A and B are shown apart, each in its own frame.
Chain A
Amino acid sequence: MKDRISWLRVPDEDEVPAEVREEIWEPVSEKLGFVPNVARIFALRPRHLVGWWRYYDELLRGESGLSRAQREMIAVAVSAANDCHY
């Protein structure tokens, strides 16, 4: 049995809409070599995933007075404060 990655049901690949696979799963797995679990888990609510993904990408990688490394520093400090290991 595969290890659980969420307490909720994780959608099967064939029930995930093409929009999610084409806009998120395919480009990210080309870059990283795998589909991050968050992109599988969040696909339970596909339109929420797409909306979140676009905002996340713009916020973390779009034009900003903060460098990408500085934005990642915030991610690390906030996640540590929340005791979140994802």
Chain B
Amino acid sequence: MRLLTKDAALADQIAADYSKAPIERRERAMLDFAVKVTRASQECTEADVEALRAAGWTDEDVMDITETAAMFNYTNRLANALGWVPNPEYHSLGR
């Protein structure tokens, strides 16, 4: 994200507490769902999908949001479970 937006401050803010980050309403809905998928996917309901549609996302977009959240849950689990360490270069990228 630092590479794409050149906005390290926004990335840090989203990591710390995205509810206080200066992002659009539909992006907040997107992140609410992504975090729910992460913390408690078994508690997701059709109402969560309706909330994303109400925020302006299409069904294709909801698929992408869910796949992207699942992708990082996958890689995070591999990294946490097997002691993966990122390159030191990452910390300076986009800063």
Binding site for B on A (CB under 8 A): 3-8, 32-34, 36-38, 41-42, 55-56, 59-60, 64-66, 68-86
Report the interface size class on chain B.
35 or more
Q: Given the known A-B contacts A69-B1, A82-B38, are A75 and B85 also in contact in the complex, defined by CB atoms under 8 Å?
A: no
Chain B interface secondary structure, helix, strand, loop or mixed?
helix
**Which residues of the partner chain A approach B76 to less than 8 Å between Cβ atoms?**
78-79, 82, 84, 86
Q: Which residues of B contact A (CB under 8 A)?
A: 1, 4-5, 11, 14-16, 18, 23, 27, 30-31, 34-35, 37-39, 57-58, 60-61, 64-65, 67-69, 71-73, 75-80, 82-87, 89-90, 93
Closest to A33 in B: B89
User: Are A60 and B68 in contact, CB atoms less than 8 angstroms apart?
Assistant: yes
| Cross-chain contact B30 with A73 (CB below 8 angstroms) | yes
Known: A69-B1, A78-B73. A6 touches B85 (CB 8 A): yes
